[in-house]
Amino acid sequence: MESAHIESDLVNILFTEEEIQAKLAEMAKLIEADYDGKDLLMVGVLRGAVMVMADLARCLDRHLEMDWMAVSSYGSGTKSSGVVRILKDLDTDITGRHVLVVDEIIDTGLTLSWLISNLSSRNAASVEIATLLRKPEALAMPVEPKYVGWDIPNEFVVGYGLDYQERYRNLRCIGTLAPHVYS
């Protein structure tokens, strides 16, 4: 979906489709160098990370495996509920594997902090995070991603996998959602 179709729903566009693709290619080069010679398993956090995971994986010039987890701490609102639930667990045994968790955004850090702890307890060789966006002002839990596309202000953003009530995920850019949409 193009932003022109929902112009009144967005305050501004933070990143265009072209900027996102360039950033993912940049991140892929770093990942390739860091995991050279290592058995890499990318774990996408459903549903938001689908776009990021797919495009990041296509930027990598190497073999890798992919798996998915669905965890939630949001419910249907715009703020984290504080309770993390596994909705879909991994199908892959990660014992001895180098795991790269891919997410679209780090907001409070609650979900990813819990997820990293959970995955680390499964005897992985390493567990790291790649995220397209991070909101440093919103962090409530310590989370140290190894790869970050951009730091952004603590605003409600949608597009490229990010949603509000399951809408806007297919927007090709990332923009700030207008308050009149969610208030």
Give the residue numbers marked as catalytic: 107
Phi-psi region of 123 (alpha: psi -120 to 50; beta: other; left: phi over 0): left
